[in-house]
């Protein structure tokens, strides 16, 4: 009997690609398992050309036992709320999601598979209701850190049970004793999505995590031992946790671009790479400060620079000559490249990259670890403050890029014989072992697939 899993991602840069890569692992891991990924289109304020291009490419990359179905804005049952973090947008796709899944399970459809479960993204928990209507279990895909999952669970308990006022943390010097870290968490490192007006949405999703049969998290036990132990332990309210990461980093697009060809001509570990994610942008003043720090450091560099926008994704600067210090581009033309976009994974895979100045999105952290590149942290939004703290204080794999010492941090970052670089190299080896046969993440994936099949055979 063929078994069918439905995967429902969140259509954002940080969430969709990991789940797509995970879907490939599933079909490779079981000969009788088929996977259908049903994609809700991105909200307008999160739409970017690169995301649209990626989603469009999926419709042509379906293969045996793996298909992608892309819903359209016309499939919404109602107009979605205009608030960026509202729950109603995903809610409005429930009827079309139910109809789409019903077609998959139609008895007259050729090659019918038995529906065995849903895997929903951490921001698509409303679709648990659709799984319930089909009387199948739901699982959660969590493409962020175990520490952030631990914090969500902790905050949900504090707010719902102890009636804690999270607003007290904003601009506070408080340190929180948290069971998912080995040291206190400063209030300033609590993610902005928790201390700002997005908290009700964060809590709503966290409550629903406990309704699932299991949680698949894109991390590995060796990277976050304390956090994985907490969320998997008997004191956690969560269901079974499968640490299956890092997901999908074993291959790199070898398509040569101008920036990759330039990298090939640079000395080993000589280039610092600055990249701040799909939503990371800067003001003109900030761009000038970064340029000054780069030039003073004297290192070769690739710098992905875009202008921060009041709403939505950042945009390209129209005239870098006017934005950056006078003569900067001319003085650094032999050693540096200022661009708006780069193939991040391919860049980090280059042996000429010696350091990474990053916003600390979780995918970027996993990539830096996988390729053994030390990080200088520059968190900007979402849960990146927590990720940065964990990288620096808990893991010892990064430097904090403090504003007043950025040139010095770049110099530290690029040292060839630093303790941080040594720890990153060792963790890189552990990340690769984790996904091999017998590794912790590979074993977790096998266990998940077995648990799914037990829904039918158990």
Q: Which residues are registered as beta bridge partners of 121? A: 141
**Could you list the residue range(s) of the whole structural domain that residue 301 is in?**
258-433
* Statement to judge: residues 365 and 391 lie in one domain: yes
Q: Which two tokens stand for residue 410?
A: 């770049």
- Cβ–Cβ < 8 Å for 17, 23: no
* Statement to judge: residues 110 and 220 lie in one domain: yes
Q: Which residues are registered as beta bridge partners of 387? A: none
* Statement to judge: residues 314 and 449 lie in one domain: no
Q: Give me the sheet containing 114-121, strands edge to edge.
A: 66-70, 33-39, 3-8, 114-121, 138-142, 214-217, 240-243
Q: How far is it, in rounded angstroms, from Cα 46 to Cα 11?
A: 9
* Statement to judge: residues 206 and 283 lie in one domain: no
Nearest to 66 by CA among 7, 129, 109: 7
* Statement to judge: residues 289 and 409 lie in one domain: yes
Q: What proportions of the chain, in percent to the nearest 5, are helix, strand and coil?
A: 45, 15, 40
DSSP-based three-state secondary structure for 357:
strand
* Statement to judge: residues 238 and 323 lie in one domain: no
- Cβ–Cβ < 8 Å for 399, 374: yes
- CA 362 vs CA 57, 209, 377, 395: distances in Å: 23, 19, 12, 14
Count how many Cα atoms sit within 13 Å of the Cα of residue 105 in the half-sphere of its side chain: 19
Burial 387-410, CB ≥16 within 10 A → b, else e: bbbbbbbbbebbbbbeeeebbebb
φ/ψ of 172, rounded to 5, equals -105, 155
Q: Which two tokens stand for residue 272?
A: 């610092």
Q: Which helix (H) or strand (E) holds 29?
A: helix 16-29
CATH of the domain at 362: 3.40.50.2000
- Cβ–Cβ < 8 Å for 19, 6: no
pLDDT along the chain (458 residues), means of 10: 91 92 92 93 78 84 86 79 66 94 78 87 96 97 97 94 89 91 95 88 94 98 97 91 94 81 96 93 93 95 93 87 95 95 94 97 97 95 94 95 77 93 98 97 96 77
Write the DSSP symbol of residue 360.
-
* Statement to judge: residues 227 and 355 lie in one domain: no
Q: Given this model, what pLDDT does residue 84 score?
A: 46
* Statement to judge: residues 411 and 451 lie in one domain: no
* Statement to judge: residues 439 and 359 lie in one domain: no
Q: How far is it, in rounded angstroms, from Cα 98 to Cα 127?
A: 9
DSSP-based three-state secondary structure for 352:
coil
> Could you count the other beta carbons within 10 Å of the beta carbon of residue 415?
14
> Could you count the other beta carbons within 10 Å of the beta carbon of residue 423?
15
Q: How far is it, in rounded angstroms, from Cα 345 to Cα 352?
A: 13
Domains in the chain: how many in total? 2
Q: Given this model, what pLDDT does residue 198 score?
A: 86
* Statement to judge: residues 322 and 339 lie in one domain: yes
Write the DSSP symbol of residue 394.
I
* Statement to judge: residues 304 and 349 lie in one domain: yes
* Statement to judge: residues 400 and 347 lie in one domain: yes
- Cβ–Cβ < 8 Å for 2, 9: no
With a CB cutoff of 8 Å and minimum separation 6, the contacts of 261 are: none
Nearest to 185 by CA among 404, 420, 387: 387
With a CB cutoff of 8 Å and minimum separation 6, the contacts of 404 are: none
Q: How far is it, in rounded angstroms, from Cα 159 to Cα 205?
A: 14
- Cβ–Cβ < 8 Å for 448, 216: yes
């Amino acid at each position: 009997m063929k078994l069918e899993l439905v995967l429902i991602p969140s259509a954002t840069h940080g969430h969709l690609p990991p789940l797509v890569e995970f879907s490939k692992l599933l079909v490779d891991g079981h000969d009788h398992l088929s996977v259908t990924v049903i994609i809700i289109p991105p909200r307008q304020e999160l739409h970017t050309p690169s995301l649209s291009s990626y989603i469009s490419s999926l419709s042509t990359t379906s293969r045996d036992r793996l298909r992608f179905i892309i819903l359209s804005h016309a499939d919404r049952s109602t107009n979605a709320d205009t608030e960026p973090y509202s729950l109603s947008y995903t809610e409005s796709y429930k009827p079309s999601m139910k109809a789409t899944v019903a077609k998959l399970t139609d008895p007259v459809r050729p090659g019918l598979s038995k529906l065995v479960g849903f895997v929903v993204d951490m921001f698509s928990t409303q679709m648990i209701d659709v799984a319930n209507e089909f009387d199948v279990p739901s699982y959660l895909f969590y493409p962020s850190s175990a520490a952030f999952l631990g914090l969500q669970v902790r905050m949900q308990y504090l707010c719902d049970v102890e009636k804690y006022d999270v607003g007290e943390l904003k601009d506070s010097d408080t340190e929180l004793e948290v069971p998912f870290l080995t040291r206190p968490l400063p209030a300033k490192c609590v993610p902005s999505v928790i201390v700002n007006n997005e908290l009700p949405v964060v809590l709503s999703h966290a409550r629903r995590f406990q309704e699932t049969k299991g949680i698949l998290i894109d991390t590995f036990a060796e990277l976050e031992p304390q956090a994985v132990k907490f969320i998997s332990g008997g004191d956690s309210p969560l269901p079974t946790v499968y640490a299956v990461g890092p997901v999908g980093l074993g291959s790199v697009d070898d398509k040569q671009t101008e920036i990759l060809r330039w990298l090939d001509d640079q000395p080993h570990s000589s280039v610092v790479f600055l990249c701040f994610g799909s939503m990371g942008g800067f003001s003109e003043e900030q761009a000038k400060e970064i340029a000054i720090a780069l030039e003073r450091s004297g290192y070769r560099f690739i710098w992905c620079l875009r202008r921060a926008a009041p709403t939505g994704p950042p945009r390209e600067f129209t005239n870098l000559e006017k934005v950056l210090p006078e003569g900067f581009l001319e003085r650094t033309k032999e050693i540096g490249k200022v661009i708006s976009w780069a193939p991040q994974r391919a860049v980090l895979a280059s042996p000429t990259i010696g350091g990474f100045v990053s916003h600390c999105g979780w995918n970027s952290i996993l990539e830096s670890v996988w390729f053994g590149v030390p990080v200088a942290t520059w968190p900007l939004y979402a849960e990146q403050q927590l990720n940065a703290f964990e990288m620096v204080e808990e893991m010892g794999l990064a430097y904090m890029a403090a504003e007043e010492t950025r040139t010095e941090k770049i110099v530290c970052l690029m040292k060839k014989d630093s303790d941080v670089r040594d720890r990153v190299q060792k963790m890189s080896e552990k990340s690769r072992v984790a996904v091999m046969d017998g590794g912790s993440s590979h074993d977790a994936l096998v266990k998940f697939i077995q648990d799914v099949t037990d829904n039918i055979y158990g």
